[in-house]
Amino acid sequence: MTSPAHSRHTETPGTFSLGGDLPVHRLGYGAMQLTGPGVWGEPEDPDEAVRVLRRAVELGVNFIDTADSYGPFVSEQLIHKALHPYPDDLVIATKAGQTRSGPNQWSPLGRPEYLRQQVELSLRHLGVERIDLFQLHRIDPKLPLAEQLGELLLLQQEGKIRHIGLSEVTVEQINQAREIADIVSVQNLYNLANRSAENVLHYAERENLAFIPWFPMATGVLARPGGPLDSAAKRRDASPSQLALAWLLRRSPVMLPIPGTSRVTHLEQNVTAAEITLTDEEFAELADSLSA
């Protein structure tokens, strides 16, 4: 059920059209850090979590990524508390396909009845009739992919899901998935210091799929004192994380970084990264920094 690449397109350097009909600003917000330690339970400061979400929307963020497993459900419920009724242009993406037994513990589970149950719960917790982008959080290796995506396709046909995406997948898995359902996005680990998903990004670019890098601000040794990212940040009077986000936005027009934070001050710093335009020389210097 592969769709032609031209059915989805970028609109301006600052926006991307998810599925061809949901334009979003390319710098979004990831809501995982709104929970307690280990992505488990309530946050230490629930009021600050609400302020972060409201401030994100005030600053123009209109793409928020969450999951049923963040909390579990704490993140979705905070989004509802802070932002419902939602602005017309706000796109909320969520996921299911991982169960939680405690802090920092994650187990893939893709049984069709479980995915359906979690979609219904996410609809209730978010307070919506249809989820804009629903992502299979992990492919369950114990079950055929057709069973997992087939249930999401049924939910899409029932009007409960608008678009379907994937998380942490290979190019081969994306191709298999697109034989079953129309896939509009992939969400893989990718940042300036870890570009192991480069081939998936190339695929997303070629097919005009949104590429949503998780853990986007990780910089590792690149931000060490005197390192390439540290030096570039000082020249720019910016933070290393801001330049890391600016690099991602420059890297590809299909890139939708979703930096997360539980503090308004950090949020404001992250959003400012969208205003930084790297020169060709700066971009190349940072791109080559892994081999430096």
Cβ atoms of 68 and 114 within 8 Å: the answer is no
Catalytic one among 70, 86, 190, 203? 70
Annotated catalytic, 70?
Answer: yes
| Cβ neighbours of 75 (radius 10 Å) | 30
Can you count the helices (H) and strands (E) in the chain?
10, 11
Rounded to whole angstroms, the Cα distance separating 148 from 110 reads 6
Rounded to whole angstroms, the Cα distance separating 242 from 246 reads 6
| Cβ neighbours of 21 (radius 10 Å) | 12
Could you tell me the two tokens for 80? 């509802």
Helix, strand, or coil (residue 183): strand
Rounded to whole angstroms, the Cα distance separating 238 from 235 reads 8
**Residues sharing a CB contact under 8 Å with residue 98, sequence separation 6 or more, in sequence order:** 67, 69, 106, 107, 108, 109, 137, 138
Q: Which of 97, 101, 181, 103 is nearest to 141 (CA)?
A: 97
Residues serving a catalytic function are 70
